[in-house]
Amino acid sequence: MVAKVEIYTWSTCPFCMRAKALLDRKGVNYTEYCIDGDEVARGKMAERAKGRRSVPQVFIEDQHIGGCDDLYDLNAKGKLDSLLQLS
């Protein structure tokens, strides 16, 4: 079974592009919420992300993972694939 992955982004955010590129390289399907300028959506994201308002914010199976650096850190430690259930 493949994990449910959600990512909140801005269309021109380089960190968002990097996070999506990693997920794409892994062949992961994800739901993207592009929240450009939408403060209501950003507020909902922040509520889910324990107050974090920066983008991207990544969720795997409704668990808050964090931003781009957090996603890459999990990958470097060999922990991302198991969260994504890719092994």
User: pLDDT for 76-86, tens place per residue?
Assistant: 999 999 999 97
Q: Where are the domains of the chain?
A: 5-84
Sign of CA dihedral 7, 9, 14, 15: negative
**pLDDT on residue 80:** 96
The domain 5-84 is placed in CATH, from the list 1.10.10.10, 3.40.30.10, 1.50.10.10, 3.30.420.40, at 3.40.30.10
**pLDDT on residue 87:** 55
**pLDDT on residue 1:** 73
At 29, list the tokens: 């399907």
Strand order in the sheet with 57-60: 31-34, 5-9, 57-60, 63-66
**pLDDT on residue 16:** 98
Instruction: List the chain residues with pLDDT less than 70.
Output: 87
**pLDDT on residue 86:** 75
